[in-house]
Amino acid sequence: MTASAAGDRNQGAPEAGYEPDPRRWRALWVTLVAGFMSLLDVSIVVVALPSVQRGLDASPAQVQWVVSGYALAFALALVTAGRLGDALDRRRIFLLALSCFVLFSVACGAAPGITLLVVARLAQGLAAGFMAPQNSALIQQMFRGAERGRAFGFFGATVGVSSAVGPLAGGMILALASGDQGWRWIFYVNVPIGILAVLLGRRLLPRTRRSGRQHVDLPGVLLLGAGVLALMFPLVQAGSGGLGRLWWMFPAGAAILFGFTRWQRRLVERDSPPLLDPRLFTTVRGYAVGAGVGTLYFIGFSGVWLVFALFYQDGLGFSPLRSGLAVTPFALGSACGAAVAGRLVDRLGRMLTVGGLTAVIAGLGGTALLLRFAPLDIAPWAAAPVLFLGGVGSGCVISPNITMTLRDVPVRMAGAAGGALQTGQRLGAAVGTAALPGLFYLVLDGGDYRSALATALGAALLGMLASLALATSDWRRDRRTRQQHGKCPEDVANSPIHARQN
């Protein structure tokens, strides 16, 4: 049986009682626009940090919290928000979180000082974290069969393109809104888009059918939050020596997460609803591998944009807009790759991810070599085609991986599963964003920006190579199973977690 046949078997025929909502595609675009806006805010602010520092007379450590505080609050909220959406009403939580995101965007833009800006960014990140898992959960709720794969393809493209296009969008806004206070428009631009999304969401988004089991695991919330905080806090403090001072938080966080896992298993044994069902990782086909591939990939993927910004703006003297334009080929390639991958994922399965990772590694590796050795007056232009190749590969990684990871998850726990997947991605992004600029500055002590860039990009490729190894192992395992048994491996269709899906 082919990978396509497996997908058809698991999701081809809609389950009994399912009636497609005629407004589902319009509702999808509302959630995607809101998701794009929240994920864009992770990277769009990077190019504005020098302007923020000058405009608010802030220190480098303070201004770094404008980026890292948002990412930290975002990651802390994801799983809990997803579980609340599963237990209560995804539509209500999505609209409330989106409204808060718009409100806190206004607060960020109007902040008179760095302290209030950081507080507003923490609140904005928390709102984004509550909104994000509802996106994937609403896809699970609104779509079935082949339509679900297409919808997840659009969702994955949104994740990939929003991260890659952030530097360009930030550069364009700063070019149009000149002056030390022009950075405020990076936050104000969210307001009209967010208000429109709220109004359309109220009309188009479906309500969640409550299962009657609305208990939320409060001890699990506290354990998971403490564990994620312990792992991420030293990373977001890396710029001010957090890795050296707070190293003890890594083993503490691992121990807390181990305790969280034991607690979740105990709840399952008692037939009580857990915050995050451990059987997602053991019985849902593709979930564990997909979560691992995404986490490892985001270690390299997220950190490269800050490194590129440092190289082009500090090393070559580019403006924020020109710096953003220099990496635009990657964003264009990512959009093209995601559009094609969404149509191929059911047929090619994990092989598509393997090919995409290979293209990303070739594209970023080629870019590192060109920017290191080619003449500086032509190096950014020469790097454009290989950056485009890397972007096409990225579009074939993020979108298909999200599709294969989430499409077989039971609808009743779609929010928690999507939140856990994105938590892994945020952890990977935190590692990359802390490690790659740190390595860049370490090599830069000698004053050689080109060597610093090449070294940082080489380190980013290590995370992508690890992701490629995991994806290749999964692809080969499926091939061997099909060759030995003449069919796909037993998967989620008969698992205990799916027996109670509805």
Q: How confident is the model at residue 7 (pLDDT cuts 50, 70, 90)?
A: very low
pLDDT for 498 beyond 60: no
Give the model confidence (pLDDT) of 238-280 as tens digits: 666 777 788 899 899 899 999 988 988 898 888 887 888 888 8
Task: Please list, in sequence order, all residues whose beta carbon lies within 8 angstroms of the beta carbon of residue 445, skipping any fewer than 6 positions away.
Answer: none
Listed ranges 53-62, 387-396, 418-427; the one with the highest mean pLDDT: 387-396
Euclidean distance between CA atoms 486 and 327, whole angstroms = 45
**Once rounded to an integer, what is the mean pLDDT over residues 459-488?**
82
Euclidean distance between CA atoms 239 and 441, whole angstroms = 10
pLDDT for 9 beyond 60: no
34 neighbors 171 (Cβ within 8 angstroms)? no
Residue 271 CB burial class (10 angstroms; 0-12, 13-18, ≥19): exposed
Euclidean distance between CA atoms 8 and 497, whole angstroms = 19
- Name the class of domain 22-206+275-499: mainly alpha
pLDDT for 212 beyond 70: no
Euclidean distance between CA atoms 102 and 99, whole angstroms = 5
Euclidean distance between CA atoms 172 and 324, whole angstroms = 8
Neighbours of 487 (CB within 10 A): 13
pLDDT for 132 beyond 90: no
**Once rounded to an integer, what is the mean pLDDT over residues 174-178?**
80
Euclidean distance between CA atoms 204 and 23, whole angstroms = 6
Euclidean distance between CA atoms 295 and 425, whole angstroms = 5
Percent of the chain with pLDDT over 70: 90
Q: What's the pTM?
A: 0.79
Helices within 143-217 (DSSP H only): 145-176, 185-188, 190-204
Give the CA angle between residues 189, 402, 21 to the nearest 5°.
Answer: 75
339 neighbors 365 (Cβ within 8 angstroms)? no
pLDDT for 8 beyond 70: no
436 neighbors 304 (Cβ within 8 angstroms)? yes
Neighbours of 275 (CB within 10 A): 26
397 neighbors 330 (Cβ within 8 angstroms)? no
**Once rounded to an integer, what is the mean pLDDT over residues 109-128?**
93
Q: How confident is the model at residue 228 (pLDDT cuts 50, 70, 90)?
A: confident
Closest by alpha carbon to 359, among 332, 387, 401?
387
**Once rounded to an integer, what is the mean pLDDT over residues 456-460?**
91
Mean pLDDT of the residues in the chain: 82
pLDDT for 356 beyond 80: yes
The tally of CA atoms less than 13 A away on the side-chain side of residue 484 is 7
Q: What is the pLDDT of residue 400?
A: 86
Q: What is the pLDDT of residue 467?
A: 93
Give the CA angle between residues 136, 469, 227 to the nearest 5°.
Answer: 50
Copy the structure tokens of residue 386: 């290989």
85 neighbors 93 (Cβ within 8 angstroms)? yes
Euclidean distance between CA atoms 217 and 80, whole angstroms = 9
Helices within 310-413 (DSSP H only): 320-326, 328-348, 350-373, 379-406
**Once rounded to an integer, what is the mean pLDDT over residues 17-43?**
84
pLDDT for 500 beyond 50: no
Euclidean distance between CA atoms 223 and 274, whole angstroms = 12
State the DSSP H helix or E strand holding residue 268, giving kind and residue range, or none if neither.
helix 249-269
Euclidean distance between CA atoms 364 and 379, whole angstroms = 14
Q: Which residue has the higher pLDDT, 21 or 460?
A: 460
Domain borders along the chain are 22-206+275-499, 217-274
Q: What is the pLDDT of residue 4?
A: 36
The tally of CA atoms less than 13 A away on the side-chain side of residue 260 is 23
Euclidean distance between CA atoms 442 and 307, whole angstroms = 12
Euclidean distance between CA atoms 26 and 186, whole angstroms = 27
428 neighbors 299 (Cβ within 8 angstroms)? yes
Q: How confident is the model at residue 339 (pLDDT cuts 50, 70, 90)?
A: confident
Q: How confident is the model at residue 210 (pLDDT cuts 50, 70, 90)?
A: low
Copy the structure tokens of residue 227: 């564990």
pLDDT for 490 beyond 60: no
468 neighbors 293 (Cβ within 8 angstroms)? no
Euclidean distance between CA atoms 333 and 394, whole angstroms = 8
